[in-house]
Amino acid sequence: MGHQEPSVAIPATESASMPISSHKTKSSERIRVIEPGTTSLTDLVKELWRSRELTYFLIWRDIRVRYKQTALGVFWAILQPVISMIVMSFVFGNIGNLKAHTSGTPYPVFLYSALLPWTFFAGAFSSTSGSVVGNAALITKIRFPRIALPITATISEAVDFALALVVLLGLMVWYHVPITPRLLFIPLLLIGMGSIAIGIGSVCASLNVKYRDVRFVIPFVAQIWMYLTPVIYPERMVPPRFQWVLFANPMNGWINAFRAVFLGYPLNGTQLGVSIVASIVILLGGVYYFRLTERGFAEII
């Protein structure tokens, strides 16, 4: 942890995103005092609310910068999961014959229904992990709740999810998979999955400030994690002696919930409940660690 930052007094007309208090000078001029951030959840929510305009700007900036000066623009958000689906469908669906274990669901739809949310999670995990270092100039110039950076990075990835979702709906129509009102639960599932990305990504973002080689570990972890999650294979193919791996995996419940929403599969309430509890714990733990270490960001970065 870094040293305690001194309080800075600024005129009341200027904006401040950190905890503030009002004082009167001898000339009765009101000023605002910016105080160092705390680990209080209430204070954090207040800070984020005061900085909501900055949050909107960061989200819009991330979306614009991502596809600026690109030949295909937003189509890159669609190409990545689609190409992955085509390659995996050939390798695992045909060569690996996994299409025989999907209960009659066409393997491309079965695969893409889990690959789409996983692509969102992997992208959010990577973006949040690099969000602090990637905004070094902003951190060293102004005061604002730093946790807004991982949050905005995750929300930006949701835009890519929405674009790639069109492809899944098209596949469902092509393969005559019914589209049901269950799709209305997608935003809630995204929030749950995004909570894990923010929680773990915030810890990695904090570590990345001091240890820059963390960014090389993130893609490797995301890839291994995907194979430990029933994305390319149905859960029932996992031998009973390894079922504990799925139970301990917080992403398992969310991926199965997405398949249940898209494909009409039965929803496993126990799995989803475990994932919900795990998501809350990971989110709160990650944010708490981030808040404990954020005071030294400007000095180290």
The residue-averaged pLDDT of 79-94 equals 87
Please say if the pLDDT value at position 16 is more than 70: no
Name every residue whose Cβ is closer than 8 Å to that of residue 65 and which is 6 or more positions away in sequence. none
SS (H, E, C) 37-93: CCCCHHHHHHHHHHCHHHHHHHHHHHHHHHCCCCCCHHHHHHHHHHHHHHHHHHHHH
Distance separating alpha carbons of residues 218 and 239, to the nearest angstrom: 28
**Structural contact between residues 76 and 70, judged by C-beta atoms closer than 8 angstroms:** yes
- Provide the pLDDT confidence category of residue 141 given band limits of 50, 70 and 90: confident
Please say if the pLDDT value at position 187 is more than 90: yes
- Provide the pLDDT confidence category of residue 181 given band limits of 50, 70 and 90: very high
Distance separating alpha carbons of residues 164 and 31, to the nearest angstrom: 48
Enter the pTM of the model.
0.80
Distance separating alpha carbons of residues 14 and 12, to the nearest angstrom: 5
pLDDT of residue 213: 82
pLDDT of residue 293: 86
pLDDT of residue 131: 87
Please say if the pLDDT value at position 217 is more than 70: yes
Distance separating alpha carbons of residues 242 and 91, to the nearest angstrom: 24
Among 15-19, 51-55, 285-289, the minimum mean pLDDT is found in: 15-19
pLDDT of residue 71: 58
- Provide the pLDDT confidence category of residue 39 given band limits of 50, 70 and 90: low
Please say if the pLDDT value at position 236 is more than 50: yes
pLDDT, greater one: 163 or 66: 163
Among 17-21, 122-126, 209-213, the minimum mean pLDDT is found in: 17-21
Q: b/e string for 145-160 if b means 16 or more Cβ within 10 A?
A: bbbbbbbbbbbbbbbb
pLDDT of residue 215: 85
pLDDT of residue 12: 38
pLDDT of residue 118: 96
pLDDT of residue 22: 46
pLDDT, greater one: 272 or 29: 272
DSSP structure class, residue 263:
H
Bridge-partner residues for 11, per DSSP? 31
- Provide the pLDDT confidence category of residue 246 given band limits of 50, 70 and 90: confident
Residues 255-296: tens digit of each pLDDT: 999 999 999 999 989 999 999 999 999 999 999 999 888 887
The residue-averaged pLDDT of 127-150 equals 84
pLDDT, greater one: 211 or 51: 211
- Kindly report the average pLDDT of the chain as a whole number: 82
Please say if the pLDDT value at position 241 is more than 60: yes
